Amino acid sequence: MKEEIVHEMFSENQVEERIVQMAEQINKEYEGKSLHMICILKGSVFFFTELAKRLTVPVTIDFMAASSYEDSTVSTGKLQMRKDLDEPIEGRHCLIVEDIVDTGRTLSMVKKMLLARNPASLKICSLLDKPSRREVEIETEYIGFEVPDQFVVGYGLDYAQKYRNLPYIGTLEFSK
Ligand code: IMP
Ligand code: MG
């Protein structure tokens, strides 16, 4: 039977410390403004709430379910939109919160779609970045950690919907 083993890469403490730093940066850069945070379900939900709790600027939140992945470790290259935002974003300062930027396809499609709705501004905040896998150029304003070209799980990230609840981030190894 194929066994899955998770090797810790960033501990719960390391992730939390980094989120505190990111929140400080965002608080500074959005001083005097209200921030509309957009959570890309489901992967970014753990990161999203931890980040939101540490923001001191006025915050509103909304959720969107979009991905280019089907229960596998390979991108399908197509955007699946399963849930749109509840509220309009026109004239609002929006921050897309994502779990990981891999090929960049999901975020570039999401960004294009949201820009068409005329937000006052639209930035991207991702817990992880895997730059070696990029296929589409995408500007990211806030990144937690860069990771090598390995499949990672935990802190919201899944493999076939498993491991999202791990409090740390780890690499997934498949052994026989
Ligand atoms: P992209 O469109 O290739 O950038 O894919 C981004 C999405 O793929 C993320 O939101 C994740 O859901 C998923 N993904 C990419 N790499 C990983 C990984 O290493 N572990 C878990 N999910 C991943
Ligand atoms: Mg995702």
Cα-to-centroid distance, 66 and ligand 2 (Å): 7
Q: Which CA distances in Å does 41 have to 7, 29, 33, 76, 161?
A: 24, 25, 25, 17, 12
Q: State mean pLDDT over 97-122.
A: 95
pTM for the full model? 0.94
What's the sign of the alpha-carbon dihedral 110, 118, 30, 62? negative
What whole-number percentage of the chain has pLDDT above 70?
93
Does position 73 have pLDDT exceeding 70, yes or no?
no
3-state helix, strand, coil in the chain (%, to 5): 25, 40, 35
Q: Which fold has domain 11-147?
A: Rossmann fold (3.40.50)
State in Å: Cα 31 to ligand 1 middle: 31
pLDDT of residue 2: 80
- Residue closest by Cα to atom 11 of ligand 1: 100
Tell me the pairing of strands 3-10 and 121-129: unpaired
Tokens 């390995």 correspond to 150
In this predicted structure, the answer to whether residue 75 has a pLDDT above a threshold of 70 is no
Tell me the per-residue pLDDT of 19-49, one tens digit each, with 9 for 90 and over. 999 999 999 999 999 999 999 999 999 999 9
Beta carbon of 129 within 6 Å of any ligand 1 atom:
no
Structural contact between residues 10 and 145, judged by C-beta atoms closer than 8 angstroms: yes
Pairing outcome for strands 3-10 and 75-83: unpaired
What stretch of H or E contains 22? helix 12-29
State in Å: Cα 101 to ligand 1 middle.
Answer: 6
Kindly give the number of the ligand 1 atom that is closest to the alpha carbon of 130: 16
